[in-house]
Amino acid sequence: MLQQLLDSVVLASIYILFSIGMSLAWGILGILNLAHGAILMFSAYVAYLWADSTSASLPMVLIAGLLAGGVLSLLMELGPFRAIRHSVGDAEELELRTVIASLGVSTILVAVAAHYTGNTSFQVPTTFQPTAYQIGSVRISDLQVIIIVVGFGLSLLLALWLSRSRNGRAVRALESDVETAALMGISERKLSSATMFVSGALAGLAGVFLVIYLGATDPAASHSLLTSAFAVIVIGGVGSIGGAVIGALVLALLETLVISNTSGVWSPAIAFSFIIVVLLVRPEGLFSSSRTKVDRV
């Protein structure tokens, strides 16, 4: 039981890294990036490519994934997202086009990865060998510790930055009102570029961790990962880091329990069931405050 708890926390940490990026992009920029799952997967793929040709250490591989994810996300912003934002149309229409464009990018990324991996799974070999320790009835490896520290640590740092630092507070106050940002002197360009880069970088980090932790991944995993990230955001609320942490923990715990008690085929359904239940009861998520589409009358 304790072991499962530990495993859940590790998985949750990865989910957090993955979901916070998507949540921030949504909350601050109003962009629902459906390519987020593909970015995670592709960053891991880039890390694999790099680790395959050189003998890479863990930090190098993580950086590779981080950069790959960040750059991919940034390119999406500099390309289609920005162009759409600056074109004519009402908010809903632009939002829809952004979502559709992100689906297109997702398709491209998955297809490229599938093409070069032969649509099979790939691994990221590193020089890092995890050592396991036994504490009571629980086996814990240093890899797991690293994942937990990085995941929860980064989210704590991000949350602190958003609530304490001046820039962070300004960003927080915006909640996706990019025009007000301009009035407040924050460059829309810088804000959106930075947000997307960070969002993708976190996803890339999560991707590399995931591959190393699970041993392998494949291009098709992008879709179920996307659903998981969405479940986390729905539970925790868009733009809320604390909510994402809780959401990730809950989801990871449930998935771990289901996987260990059934043969694991039902686990994608969990994320979705959560989404449905939460959205039916509280359409704006359990912890969110604004930036939602809820009927108010």
Contact 72, 141 (CB under 8 A): no
**Which of 2, 5, 83, 160 is the binder for other proteins (CB under 8 A)?**
83
**Which of 125, 161, 268, 286 is the binder for other proteins (CB under 8 A)?**
268
Residue 282 makes CB contacts below 8 A (sequence gap 6+) with none
Positive or negative torsion for Cα 15, 169, 93, 282: positive
Tell me: does residue 105 bind other proteins (CB under 8 A). yes
Distances (CA, A) of 40 to 63, 105, 117, 187, 279: 13, 13, 16, 28, 25
**Which of 119, 165, 187, 261 is the binder for other proteins (CB under 8 A)?**
119
Tell me: does residue 142 bind other proteins (CB under 8 A). no
**Which of 92, 131, 134, 137 is the binder for other proteins (CB under 8 A)?**
92
Closer residue to other proteins, CB minimum distance, 205 or 275: 275
Per-residue b/e over 127-138, b at no fewer than 16 CB within 10 Å? ebeeeeeeeeee
Contact 124, 47 (CB under 8 A): yes
**Which of 115, 139, 169, 190 is the binder for other proteins (CB under 8 A)?**
115
Tell me: does residue 264 bind other proteins (CB under 8 A). no
**Which of 17, 25, 84, 154 is the binder for other proteins (CB under 8 A)?**
84
What is the nearest approach in angstroms of other proteins to the Cβ of residue 25?
Answer: 12
Tell me: does residue 125 bind other proteins (CB under 8 A). no
Helix ranges (DSSP H) in 54-122: 58-76, 82-85, 91-117
| Residue the block writes with tokens 């708890």 | 5
| Residue the block writes with tokens 């980090």 | 205
Distances (CA, A) of 83 to 21, 36, 67: 21, 19, 23
- Stretch near other proteins under the rule CB under 8 A, chosen from 1-9, 45-53, 112-120, 204-212: 112-120
Tell me: does residue 110 bind other proteins (CB under 8 A). yes
Interface residue list for other proteins (CB under 8 A): 26, 32, 79-80, 83-84, 87, 89-90, 92-93, 95-101, 103-112, 114-115, 119, 223-224, 226-227, 230, 234, 265-266, 268-269, 271-273, 275-276, 279-280, 283, 293-297
